[in-house]
Amino acid sequence: MAEHTLGYGVIGAGGISRFAHLPNLARNPRARLVAIADIDPAKARRAAEDFDIPYWYDDYHELLANPEVEAVSVTTWPAAHAEPVIAAAAAGKHVLCEKPIATSLEDADAMVEAADRAGVRFTMGYQHRFGTGLPLVKQLLGEGVIGRPMGMTQVGVGPSAHGVPWFLQKQYSGGGVLIDWGIYTAHTILWLMGPVASVYATSEIFRSEVMVRDQLVTGIDVEDTVMATMRFANGAMGSWYAAWAVAAAHGGMTLDGSDGSIITGRDNSGLSVFSNTFSEPAHLHGWRQLKTVEPVLADLHYRKLAHLIDSVLDDRPLQLTGADGRDALELVLAIYRSAETGRPVSLPLARSAVPQSV
Ligand SMILES: NC(=O)c1ccc[n+]([C@@H]2O[C@H](COP(=O)([O-])OP(=O)(O)OC[C@H]3O[C@@H](n4cnc5c(N)ncnc54)[C@H](O)[C@@H]3O)[C@@H](O)[C@H]2O)c1
């Protein structure tokens, strides 16, 4: 008997939908692309034609009412993630939400609660988690290779290439480089280092206008540069520099502890590791290079979608959840709050003191 394939719908037919979700759902033998929705009917129809999708809608509620749809990707802009995710969960659909989970912690909490209440699986669009480099760093830390963690640095800078203007408009995006590029990093930092106890940060809009494709976007109200220091609950210290208005792309992460260090390359491929815990003679101690090779981007997207599909069909727990997305947003919002006020901010953010929109 043929295996049941998961009926899948996609809400949002823009850039990431067409680049990552639709092609990688179309080539997954365990998924069946059933429906697409976009408030722009022309986009929904074109996607349906291009990817051979039986149903298209200009209202995602109709997609959610389709009984053939068992799981959805939500690929709308960030301020429009919460409503469809909550509605999808209430309709009993499993959900993959693109990053960031939302633009306010109130929305993120409501999304996680809706999925929990409905008993559906809820994961995030963090494809970098499905590479090889970061899971190996996680494994090395778990094996105690650097000993007690003491300090970490993170740099992620480069020129931005926004496909659409909303990335530079706070009402749609929730913020600039930190919530867009940095949300992956926030998750990585928490995943590797554990909870952050406090942050102290500063940010700037160095570039107030930029060409997006052939359109001049002026009056940019989201930060392009952030510098933050962090104190972790385990006592370690961290620094984080994120910028997307600079000319050259570079960066990576360093992790230092009582017995060793790990340095990652910019795309996580290739780790430098030093450890006093290795068992060879002391005169052989030194830096060693672990040549991890990252999958190509399309395959990372394939894996992040397969993670949800396999979790549902094989009844296996998710490795990455909406709650992880919520925690990453909390760290980002704490850094924004510190940069706004010029004061250190403690985590977890008290519900009453949470900046409900950035
Ligand atoms: N994981 C990644 O690598 C990655 C890369 C780029 C973008 N993203 C994320 O994906 C999301 C979308 O980004 P994009 O570049 O595709 O933007 P986009 O503007 O190209 O596409 C967004 C689409 O959502 C539609 N939309 C908005 N509100 C809607 C609603 N209520 N119902 C149905 N459709 C609606 C818009 O009409 C548009 O077609 C954002 O959250 C972004 O941060 C993720």
pLDDT for 203: 98
Residue nearest to ligand 1 atom 26, measured at CA? 76
- Ligand 1 centre to CA of 67 (Å) is 24
Going by alpha carbons, the residue nearest to atom 5 of ligand 1 is 16
Pocket test of ligand 1: the residue of 59, 62, 77 to mutate, having most ligand atoms within 8 Å of its CB, is 77
Sheet strands (E) in the chain: 6-11, 31-37, 55-57, 71-74, 94-97, 122-124, 149-159, 196-204, 210-212, 215-217, 225-232, 237-243, 245-257, 260-264, 271-275, 288-290, 345-346
Return the structure tokens found at 327.
Answer: 């925690």
Burial class (CB in 10 A: 0-12, 13-18, 19+), 139: exposed
For atom 28 of ligand 1, the residue with the nearest CA is 76
Q: Which two tokens stand for residue 265?
A: 């390359």
Question: What is the radius of gyration, based on Cα positions, of the chain?
Answer: 21
Ligand 1 centre from 77 Cα, in Å?
Answer: 4
Q: How far is the CA of 76 from the centre of ligand 1 (A)?
A: 3
Indicate the top mutation candidate among 76, 164, 171, 212 to test ligand 1's pocket, ranked by most ligand atoms within 8 A of CB. 76
Ligand 1 atom index nearest CA of 163: 15
pLDDT at residue 351, as a whole number: 65
Distance separating alpha carbons of residues 310 and 144, to the nearest angstrom = 31
Distance CA(20)–CA(23), nearest Å, equals 6
Query: What are the helix and strand counts (H, E) for the chain?
Result: 12, 17
Homologous superfamily, domain 129-294+327-346: Dihydrodipicolinate Reductase; domain 2 (3.30.360.10)
- Residue written as token pair 């800078």: 157
pLDDT at residue 356, rounded to an integer: 46
What is the 8-class DSSP label of residue 287? -
Q: Which residues line ligand 1 (CB under 6 A)?
A: 11-17, 37-40, 43, 60, 75-78, 80, 98-99, 125, 127, 163-164, 166, 180
pLDDT, position 201: 98
What does the pLDDT read at residue 256? Answer: 98
Task: Quote the pLDDT of residue 357.
Answer: 46
- For residue 344 the two structure tokens come to 């250190």
For ligand 1, atom 33, the nearest C-alpha belongs to: 38
Per-residue pLDDT of the chain (358 residues; tens, 9 = 90+): 788 999 999 999 999 999 999 999 999 999 999 999 999 999 999 999 999 999 999 999 999 999 999 999 999 999 999 999 999 999 999 999 999 999 999 999 999 999 999 999 999 999 999 999 999 999 999 999 999 999 999 999 999 888 899 999 999 999 999 999 999 999 999 999 999 999 999 999 999 999 888 899 999 999 999 999 999 999 999 999 999 999 999 999 999 999 999 999 887 778 999 999 988 888 888 999 998 889 999 999 999 999 999 999 999 999 999 999 999 999 999 999 999 999 999 999 976 544 544 4
Which ligand 1 atom minimizes the distance to the CA of 16? 16
Tell me the CA–centroid distance for residue 12 and ligand 1, in Å. Answer: 6
pLDDT at 358: 40
**CATH domain 6-125+300-319 topology:** Rossmann fold (3.40.50)
Atom of ligand 1 nearest to the CA of 43: 39
The pLDDT assigned to 32 comes to 98
Q: Which two tokens stand for residue 30?
A: 């365990």
